[in-house]
Copies of this chain bind each other. A is one copy, B any other.
Amino acid sequence: MARCTITDVAAASGVSIKTVSRVLNDEPSVRPETRRRVREAMTAMNYQPSLPARSLAGRRSSLIALLFENPSANYVFAVQSGAMAKCRETQLRLLVQPLNDLGEPLIEEVLAMVDQTHIDGVVITPPLSANAELIAALDSRGLPFVRIAPDGTSHSSPIVEMDDEAAAHEMTSYLLALGHRRIGFIKGHPGHHSSKLRLEGFQAALASWGVDPAEQPVEQGYNSFESGLTAARRLLACTQRPTAIFASNDDMAAGAIFVAHEFGIRVPDELSVSGFDDTQLASTIYPPLTTVHQPSYTMSYTATGLLIDLIKRNAVPASTQLAHNLVKRASTAPPRRAN
């Protein structure tokens, strides 16, 4: 069962290689009867088209790339699974391209990859999706791409996102409704646009409840567990300790819970903690984390679908917003009455 080629199939089904090629590409104007014969021959011989040959001859490579620069295993895994699922449906191959710790040559690396592999298109995840140079470079190559959760800068490429601000607003309202009036906030990585939106949602919710945002303690975090540790230590060392902490992602929220354990502060009795993203971690720590479910898998699945449409030159929406939802678990409760 050695590899066989289009020529073998053509011979076996008594047509020219061109007709086999037509069947392969689902082109019209092949008689159904002929199509059937060719298809049968292909299955019988276990014919597999050669991807390199197709991409060399045609304009398509049937290969798309997923670009990321994100250190979170959970996020990357989710995004990758989503993209992969869509690729499997559509007979495409996915080239996964991590761009961590590259510094300057990032753009060059991407362009080299694009030129070498003849990629058809790219899905870009945050924070890369907000990288203006990268966008410009891809544009210069005329390569189609879809961005996941980029910043607000306008560009004609399609976008898949969730409403970070509304979600943060909801979470904050939930904490306020529980009775919390002193809520510590841990900001996300300054490089991520969503960090800004989440803070804005937090502040807007406070304002709408008549609570002065300026009075609430806010600490800078960097999306890592360790940065959550540092930020939470500061928040909990305040003289007026907050009764709740809202962290901009789950890793940092896990840090806050860790610190609470260290300090002997009971969660949620003495301190409520909530996160953002709903990664696997959220339901693995104790107590399980109240958080916002971010549909990372679905976002990337959707983005990949849009990219494929884009490549096929179908009409594509400029922007798609996916639903989030609040996941209430055991890390939040009404504040203990202290007075």
State the A residues within 8 Å of B (CB). 1, 3, 48-53, 55-56, 61, 73-74, 76-78, 80-81, 84, 93-96, 98, 112-113, 115-118, 140, 225, 251, 254, 257-258, 261-262, 280-281, 283-287
Which residues of B lie under 8 Å from residue A261 when comparing CB positions? 286-287
Instruction: Tell whether A285 pairs with B284 under 8 Å between CB atoms, given A50-B56, A52-B55, A73-B77.
Output: yes
Which residues of B lie under 8 Å from residue A56 when comparing CB positions? 50, 52-53, 56
Which residues of B lie under 8 Å from residue A251 when comparing CB positions? 284
Measured CA separation A95–B118 after assembly (Å):
15
Copies of this polypeptide in the complex: 2
Which residues of B lie under 8 Å from residue A287 when comparing CB positions? 261
Q: Is the CB of B48 within 8 A of A116?
A: yes
Instruction: Tell whether A280 pairs with B48 under 8 Å between CB atoms, given A94-B96, A98-B84.
Output: no
Which residues of B lie under 8 Å from residue A112 when comparing CB positions? 48
Measured CA separation A95–B251 after assembly (Å):
29
Tell me the interface secondary structure of chain A in the complex.
helix
Q: Is the CB of B284 within 8 A of A258?
A: yes
CB distance from A331 to the nearest CB of B (A): 12
Measured CA separation A116–B258 after assembly (Å):
49
Q: Is the CB of B284 within 8 A of A51?
A: no
Other-chain residue from B52, B80, B84, B257 in contact with A52 (beta carbon distance below 8 A): B52
Which residues of B lie under 8 Å from residue A280 when comparing CB positions? 73, 225
Measured CA separation A61–B49 after assembly (Å):
15
Measured CA separation A65–B315 after assembly (Å):
34
CB distance from A313 to the nearest CB of B (A): 21
Q: Is the CB of A257 within 8 A of B281?
A: no
Other-chain residue from B50, B98, B115, B285 in contact with A118 (beta carbon distance below 8 A): B50
Measured CA separation A94–B93 after assembly (Å):
11
Q: Is the CB of A225 within 8 A of B284?
A: yes
Instruction: Tell whether A284 pairs with B94 under 8 Å between CB atoms, given A52-B56, A56-B56.
Output: no
Can you show 21 pairs from A to B with CB atoms below 8 A apart?
A: A48-B115, A48-B116, A50-B115, A51-B116, A52-B55, A52-B56, A52-B61, A53-B56, A73-B78, A73-B280, A74-B74, A84-B96, A93-B95, A93-B116, A254-B285, A258-B285, A261-B286, A262-B286, A284-B285, A285-B285, A286-B286
Which residues of B lie under 8 Å from residue A3 when comparing CB positions? 115
Measured CA separation A118–B52 after assembly (Å):
8
Please indicate which of the listed interface residues A1, A48, A113, A261 has the most CB atoms of chain B within 10 Å of its own CB.
A48
